[in-house]
Structure 1
């Protein structure tokens, strides 16, 4: 049985994109509506990436730790998850 990484991939890309938009906004016009929209979006994507990585990478502390890096942590965790053999836990009886 394989593990579906698609939700983690979407959240990791959303996290990176929202961080880029926030930094670009900070460097240029610093519009409050952009900040108020992208700040929570980035925070939600970051928390989803950390939670999903923690759930998927039960045996690898390095993979879980890489998810805590803001912006690119999700992409780093995805890279490590793709390289490691996927161990799916047995369902409880």
Structure 2
């Protein structure tokens, strides 16, 4: 397998995981984000997305909804991209 094929497979796996989180609410946040942006994300951004997705759904949803603040050291800049994408979709 080439590096391009590895990256393509990685993108497919991340996209699948974004839609199959365990809670429908997070599926509807991360799934559309992955659909819209997965092919444009660099390997570094894929790492960042995977780190966000490694969080449990309940706290992640609270962060997305602005009910709680992510912990110190969390990648809030990347989370902000996901939140902005979600808000733009629900505003339509």
Q: TM-score range with shorter-chain normalisation? A: 0.3 to 0.5
The two structures have a TM-score, normalised by structure 1, of: 0.39
The two structures have a TM-score, normalised by structure 2, of: 0.40
